């Protein structure tokens, strides 16, 4: 079950309120039903699999921190810390505001600006998430994937939304998604119909 805390949600609105008009419209893209449903789906499936072990979580292509915020509110296991990594520097202050109480709590949450393929882990990751696999080339994805320590729990999402200009590595179906993303023996694999496109997700141990 997903539980959202009204106090945390006020920080979502603070993050939006702080933005100039044109940037606010851009940020609102992160709140389309399909985006939220995909994140809720991820958190729910991860809750079923993750043990009670405290987790250091790394989210790549973390955008403005919606997934991180939902995870911090609704995860049934203890999250030690979350790092939300995005190549676009515009995302960092917005994501930090979205998760402000956790950012102020000794950086339990912190957004970072970095290319996912170049990121140096701050600690041994327990959960590595990439919800932006359709935004990167195969070569860049492979570099990012090779940098994840073996035995780490990996969660990846992609989609078949080929008509979006920013999507350069979509998948026709779940089978292709698994192949492109090097999914082996998935603990979970599934597809979510958002009406506009289909979202694919796999969870596996690298």
Ligand X SMILES: C[S@@+](CC[C@H](N)C(=O)[O-])C[C@H]1O[C@@H](n2cnc3c(N)ncnc32)[C@H](O)[C@@H]1O
Contact flag: residue 35 with ligand X (CB under 6 A): yes
Nearer to ligand X, 4 or 164 (CB): 164
Give how far Cα 105 sits from Cα of 72, 101, 174, Å: 12, 6, 39
* Whole-number Å distance between alpha carbons of 162 and 168: 8
Q: For the CB of residue 23, give the shortest distance to ligand X in the complex, in Å.
A: 13
Task: Tell me the closest approach of the beta carbon of residue 85 to ligand X, in angstroms.
Answer: 6
- Which residues have a Cβ under 8 Å from the Cβ of 167 and sit 6 or more positions away? 134, 135, 159, 161
Regarding 198 and contact with ligand X (CB under 6 A), the answer is no
Of these, 15, 87, 98, 128, which contacts ligand X (CB under 6 A)? 87
Beta strands in 46-163 (DSSP E): 55-60, 79-86, 109-113, 127-130, 153-159
**Candidate list 88, 172, 173, 193; residue touching ligand X; CB under 6 A:** 88
Q: Which two tokens stand for residue 45?
A: 């499936």
Number of residues forming the site for ligand X (CB under 6 A)? 17
Alpha helix locations (H) across 50-188?
A: 66-74, 91-98, 100-103, 138-146, 174-180
Residues 108-167 that bind ligand X (CB under 6 A): 115-116, 131-132, 135-136, 140
Among 61, 94, 109, 129, binds ligand X (CB under 6 A): 61
CA angle 112, 116, 118 (to 5 degrees): 95
Handedness of CA 13, 16, 19, 20 (dihedral sign): negative
Region of 15-23, 58-66, 70-78, 171-179 interacting with ligand X (CB under 6 A): 58-66
Q: How far is the CB of 193 from ligand X (least distance, A)?
A: 15
Task: Give whichever of 87 and 128 is closer to ligand X, judged by the CB atom.
Answer: 87
Nearer to ligand X, 75 or 130 (CB): 130
Q: Provide the binding-site residues for ligand X, judged by CB under 6 A.
A: 35, 38, 60-61, 63, 85-88, 91, 115-116, 131-132, 135-136, 140
């Amino acid at each position: 079950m997903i539980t959202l805390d009204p106090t945390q949600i006020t920080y979502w609105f603070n993050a939006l309120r702080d933005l100039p008009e044109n940037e606010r419209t851009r940020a609102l893209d992160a709140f389309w039903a399909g985006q939220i449903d995909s994140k809720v789906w991820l958190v729910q499936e991860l809750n079923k699999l993750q043990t009670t072990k405290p987790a250091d979580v790394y989210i790549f292509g973390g955008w403005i921190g919606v997934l991180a915020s939902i995870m911090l509110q609704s995860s049934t296991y203890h999250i030690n810390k979350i790092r939300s990594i995005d190549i676009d520097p515009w995302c960092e202050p917005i994501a930090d505001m979205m998760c402000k109480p956790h950012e102020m709590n000794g950086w339990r949450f912190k957004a970072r600006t970095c290319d996912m393929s170049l990121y140096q882990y701050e600690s041994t990751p327990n959960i590595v998430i990439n919800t932006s696999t359709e935004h990167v080339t195969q070569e860049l994805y492979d570099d990012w994937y090779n940098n994840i320590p073996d035995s780490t729990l990996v969660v990846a999402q992609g989609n078949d939304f080929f008509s979006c200009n920013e999507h350069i590595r979509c998948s026709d179906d779940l089978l292709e998604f698994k192949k492109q993303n090097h999914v082996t023996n998935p603990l979970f694999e599934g597809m979510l119909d958002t009406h506009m496109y289909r979202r694919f997700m796999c969870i596996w141990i690298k």
